[in-house]
Amino acid sequence: MSLYITSLNSGSNGNCYYIGNDHEAIMVDAGLSCRETERRMHRLGLSMQKVKALFISHEHTDHIKGITILSKKYNLPVYITPATQRSGNLPLAEQQAIPFLPYTPVQIGGLSITAFPKFHDAVEPHSFIISGNEVNIGVFTDIGAPCEHLIRHFQICHAAFLEANYDEVMLENGSYPFHLKRRIRGGHGHLSNKQALELFKAHRPPYMTHLFLSHLSKDNNDPDVVLELFRPHAGDTHVAVASRYQETPVYNISNNGKLGPVRYTQLSIF
């Protein structure tokens, strides 16, 4: 039993994550143009006809810029909160935009998608966990701090896209103005390499087979730096970087007979 996953792109220049089974798939965010999304899907041997829905984490441009054309061309429902749609100024047809609630699973064929709140400087930001074929996949990016919501869901993942946005020394010594540095590391911006590593070390489940370090900053991080940081602690987990320049391979994520219990305990909303 398995799910197939890939990052089509991960970074401030565009974000899009594909999770599917043999029959259907969903995308979390649509931050690439429709044409570029199609190109990358084609290179991977994946079909847009298999994609049945888009799930939108928040309204920042690098997560929504491909939504309008992609959803219209392929007649895809867009699961998005009304506040996110308004803030992103997205002209979606009423029947096309479908609201979701945190901790309320949405069923798309054999896939179950559950959103939960996160710390980020957007109007109503959410992360997602996608379950199917006894496998749990987490999409955890654009997170200002590793809150209890994130910890509980990370603990049940067989694989996860986890933000490792910046190296603290590179950010501190870099050229960004002070207000932008403060925004990035201020608790509602992004996770540092160190924060991501501490989450991984403290809360990785024993059955996690893959971790994809995601949303790396172009200016304040380096794939070799973050991989070197994680390598001594990886154990049996395959750790890779989800690139901001190209798609990852398609990974087949299996539970290997080890099912993480999906417990959607309602926590207080921020």
Check which CATH number belongs to the domain holding 65 and give it: 3.60.15.10
Q: What whole-number distance in Å separates Cα of residue 149 and Cα of residue 153?
A: 7
pLDDT recorded at residue 93:
86
Q: How confident is the model at residue 136 (pLDDT cuts 50, 70, 90)?
A: very high
pLDDT value for 141? 96
For residue 233, what are its two tokens?
A: 């602690």
In a domain, 263, yes or no: no
Mean pLDDT on 158-187 = 96
Q: How many domains does the chain have?
A: 1
Residue 259 is assigned to a structural domain of this protein: no
Residue 91 lies in a domain: no
Range of the domain at 51: 2-83+99-254
The pLDDT > 70 percentage for the chain reads 95
pLDDT class of 269 with cuts at 50, 70, 90: very low
Query: In the prediction, which pLDDT does 266 show?
Result: 38
* pLDDT band for position 34 (cuts 50, 70, 90): very high
> Does residue 230 belong to any structural domain of this protein?
yes
At 9, list the tokens: 């792109």
Residues 185-236 pLDDT 10s: 999 999 999 999 999 999 999 999 999 999 999 999 999 999 999 999 999 9
pLDDT at 260 over 90: no
pLDDT for the residue 5: 98
CB 93 within 8 A of CB 31: no
pTM: 0.93
Position 266, amino acid: Q
Buried b (16+ CB within 10 A) or exposed e, 177-216: eeeebebbbeebbbbbbebbbebbeebbbebbbbbbbbbb
- Determine the pLDDT at residue 270: 36
pLDDT at site 94: 82
Name every residue whose Cβ is closer than 8 Å to that of residue 34 and which is 6 or more positions away in sequence.
66, 69, 70, 73
Q: Is residue 9 part of a domain?
A: yes
Domain presence at residue 27: yes
pLDDT of residue 263: 38
In a domain, 270, yes or no: no
* Whether the predicted pLDDT of 268 surpasses 50: no
Question: Which whole number is the average pLDDT over 121-137?
Answer: 96
pLDDT at 258: 52
On whether residue 88 sits in a domain, the answer given is no
